[in-house]
Chains A and B, each alone.
Chain A
């Protein structure tokens, strides 16, 4: 069974750093890209970017480039999303997701993580 399991909720202060994780199982982790999607409180879905676990090649949505960093540790089948200096506006649920097609990083996801709630407040 394909599963993406994300790390737990986080509460941080503005200016702090954070890394959240997404562990894949039940499939060949290096064969499929991992997408990240943001959902701000009460709002819709925003596609942040995608990373190829086989070589760590990343495609960022320009709207998010420079604000977050994606990475992966293929030895433990885990992808990461990182912030160096959080802002209150980073408060959101962050989902990792696996595209339907292994060869197409932007194909719509068929498997999603359960989401990680990040709250940034002083």
Chain B
């Protein structure tokens, strides 16, 4: 299976901050990379697919980039509703695998 890592594992930030989360794959996955947001007690929400394409309804302050093995999720201006855990997922190789998550909390 392809292993996914994320950094940092957690971060503290303030409303309005620019936040960047990194995801790395153990082998080349091209752009088969998705990002999800999960709030406590809730189901995950899809944010981005194909590394940089926003799912319908996702605010434009979210963006994704990268290709190959290194990817980033950027929140350009953190909003109160963005405090959550973020997961990356590769779907280039079977089975799809998720990263361990990055928890974003309030500073």
A residues near B (Cβ < 8 Å) are: 37, 44-47, 49, 59, 61-63, 95, 97, 100, 106-110, 112-115
Contact = CB atoms under 8 A, between A and B. Distances in A.
B83 interface: no
B46 A45 contact: no
15 contacts: A44-B98, A45-B38, A47-B97, A59-B94, A61-B95, A62-B95, A63-B95, A106-B96, A107-B91, A108-B34, A109-B44, A110-B46, A110-B56, A113-B43, A115-B43
Given A100-B49, A107-B91, A108-B91, A44 B99 contact: yes
Contact of B55 (A45, A46, A106, A110): A110
B100 interface: yes
Nearest to A108: B34
A6 B46 CA distance: 18
Interface residues of B, number: 21
A95 B95 contact: no
A53 B91 CA distance: 21
Contacts of B36: 45, 108
A100 B34 CA distance: 11
Contacts of B18: none
A119 B44 CA distance: 20
B39 interface: no
A85 B96 CA distance: 26
